[in-house]
Structure 1
Amino acid sequence: MDRLLKHKLFWLILLLLAISGVLLYLFRSGNLLAQTILHLQESLKQGELIREHILAYGPLAPIIFIVLQVLQVILAPIPGEASGILGGYIFGTWPGFLYSSLGLTIGSWLAFVASRLFGDIFLARFKNTRVFNSFNHLVCRGDFVIPFILFILPGFPKDSLSYLLGLSIMPLPVFIFITAVGRMPGTLILSLQGAEVFAGNYLRLLLLLFISISISVPCYLWRQKILRWLTRRNNKIIHSEKNKPAENDLCEREND
């Protein structure tokens, strides 16, 4: 671990300890605990209202939720984590996981196709940005394992990644496999969290939250470092094949 990462980790731990200390003091000296419980109860009531409203559509309820997930990918009206938890809360762990996975896969497919159909518009917007260049390097020579890893790891903008990969040489069937399978671990954890909230198993919920945070926070804090490492790894392949002709227009534009 280099010096910069140690410095960031030190301040992160110090911040968490400070927040924990302040919360502990407020819990012991005031009515924060009662207010927190009241707020959670109100939130659960709102969640129950949403659940009842969607389930009132009967057989159409899963379709409505799937459409909600599709819109979440394309337009991002609500955070993906919230909709994933909502799926488990409404339908249970495995049905919620299935419906979320279908919605996320369809939404990612639509984003990918839209980017490919209107490539010039998206290319004008993203070209020469650091994120675009990084992702384009990763797939320009057909190394599709690395984007798959990015879909699995939390902390990366998966919805934006769908648009960016639509500009690459990645075949559509490969993308469908990557986005469907790569999102599954995170989607399952979110669905489990929602189901535990509905069942009132708060100890299990806290355990799942701890696991999620333990994985997500480091990946988010060091996402650029992870991406740079993956890019350097892929560049070795690109340099070894530098005499090969460009494989598509996007790779040719990148080299212009």
Structure 2
Amino acid sequence: MSDKKTGLTTFYTPILVLLLIVAAFYVGRLSSQVEGLKKNVAGTETTAPTQQAPTPERKLDVASLKERAKKFGLDTTKFDQCLDGGSMAERVSNEQKEGTALGVSGTPSFVINGVMLVGAQPQTSFESVIDAELKDGTGDKAAAALGEDGKRLKLNLTKSYVTGAANAKIKVVEFTDFECPYCERAFPTVNAIMEKYKGKISLEYKSFPLSFHPSAQKAAEAALCAGEQGKFWEMHDDLFAPAK
């Protein structure tokens, strides 16, 4: 009887070990998926996505960027020279360094009167910060609305393109990537906020192309090249326009 039990134990032991290995593999895989969901829940992009964005892909290759420039009556020779020569590459890099120094690691990231708001948040998230800031005027309640410690980020940024009120009470700085699907998703929300608080708000653009987006760097340069001819915001809006 003892020999029979020993034989059964010897037979089943490798099977049990194999089952434990398989179970451990699937538990680890499930854990990774859960962590991935946690990282993306705020609607921000920090690493290369494992799935394609559900929206049609916008054309942001160099040839398409040059075609876009024709829409706005730009001197295409100057635009092409600017883009091909990398005239704006250093500026893009410097703006990205400014964002990194503030703690920006993904896009889109917004700084509202020194209060950081990360991701393609719903309009109500912007409104809670802006309304608190307009009411309180110190930034403390605005920061509290996000569960922060009430401290604003101290901004010391180089001059960039700004739209909105000249003496805005609410100053929004956006670090963005034209190839980022979450930035595209945030675009209409930002427009709605700018319209709702018109006369009280300004928006400043900052380049933050993510390294795994192959067209993001040149798209950022294209917007700045268009800006050299007074058409920055036209190009900016066109780059975020949904693909048709």
Structure (1/2) with the larger strand percentage: 2
State the TM-score, normalized to the length of structure 1: 0.24
1 or 2 for the larger relative contact order (CA 8 Å, sep ≥6)? 2
Higher Rg of the two aligned structures = 2
TM-score normalised to the size of structure 2? 0.25
Instruction: From the two aligned structures, give the one with the greater helix fraction.
Output: 1
